[in-house]
Structures are given as C-alpha cells and as structure tokens.
A and B are shown apart, each in its own frame.
Chain A
C-alpha cells in the first residue's frame, strides 16, 4: 500500500532562512511523488513532481525536492523563505503510471514565515 508521512505538522522559519519540509513514503512499487501547496481557503497547487526521471526535481517558486530511494524520502526545500511561502504543504504519492489517478496525501505541514 502506498502512503506518505510528513514529519512536523508545523514548521516556523525566519524570512530568508532555509525551508525544509520532510516527507517519507511507503510504496511497494516505484512511486510517483508530489508536493502541493494550499493557501487559506484555496485548492491545491502543484509545486513539483517526481516521476522516475531526475532525482532532484525543481518546482515553482524556487522550491525543489530530492528523491532518495535508500531513505524513502522526498523532502522539500527552498534556500530562502519569503513571507508569501506561508501556507500548508502536502506531500502525496501515486502508485505507478497506470490505474486510477488517485493520490494519497500526507497530513500536511503548516509553514509559518517569521519576518
């Protein structure tokens, strides 16, 4: 069964500091992994996705994530936090390429950026 675990339901960083949001996955087959962002009262916006190509994935808004099979991790990073990055972030996994396009989401990490 596919699942993801997000470590830390709340993360606070100072403006300009490194952002690191952690995600570990469990999958019996090569996974497709995603990071989504959700601003208050909004839907989900795709930040980036890993689909078995390059292990370092670059996304929008300066975010990137590295797929590490040995650690079953897909942590999200950004070198310098902006106030506009304050939001809820969700890691998600999808089983392979075929089948229903259903995503399994983690419980989310709320990022607070301190001025």
Chain B
C-alpha cells in the first residue's frame, strides 16, 4: 500500500507566474485536502475534494484552485503567484470525507522570487 505522494518536492517560481502541484492519495482514499504551511507556522486549510467535487474551502482567494481526478489524485493550482505564497504545501488524504484520520504527504516546498 503506497502512502500519499506529492510532486515536485521543491519548486521555484517567479512572482506573477502560475504553478501546479500534484498529489496522489493513499490507495482507497477518496478525499484529498490541501494545506499551506508558511515558515514557522502551522498548516492552514486551503480546500478539500471529495469524489471530484470541492467539499469545503478555507480563507484563500480564488486564485487558489484545485482538481480531483477519477482516480482521486489531485492538483492544486495557484495563479498570479505572490511572494507570500512561498510555503510548504501539504496534501492529505482520508478514506472518507468524514473520516477523522488524515494521512499527509511530505509536501512541496514552493519558493516565489
């Protein structure tokens, strides 16, 4: 059984560019959540996808968007990158949307210059 995998592990982008981060959920998990962890902070909830539909969203602007595919893998897209978007982006999957246990990937470190 494979765990949650994220790609790429590190990424450097220029302000104003767009970025796509990818996440493969743990086998059998149909729910994926994305979190942003700024340096020295706790993770903040961006949104959750359940069976290809957005199922909840945190306090992030619309330029943060996502997708979930039929195999339950997911993408996080960020448009018009800002310097403050520099952070570790974590993906977590769970067996069902109401399941209390979320399994996290190792994250993608995004640096915006």
Contacts and interface: CB of A to CB of B under 8 A. Distances in A.
Contact of A101 (B40, B42, B44, B102): B102
Contacts of B90: 43-44
A58 to B, nearest CB: 15
Interface residues of B, number: 28
Interface in B8-63: 31, 33, 35, 40-45, 48, 55-56, 58
B18 to A, nearest CB: 24
A84 interface: no
Contacts of B100: 32, 49, 51, 94, 97, 101
Interface in A48-65: 49, 51
B4 interface: yes
Given A43-B107, A90-B42, A100 B97 contact: yes
A11 interface: no
Interface in B73-101: 90, 92, 94, 97-101
A107 B43 CA distance: 8
A46 B94 CA distance: 12
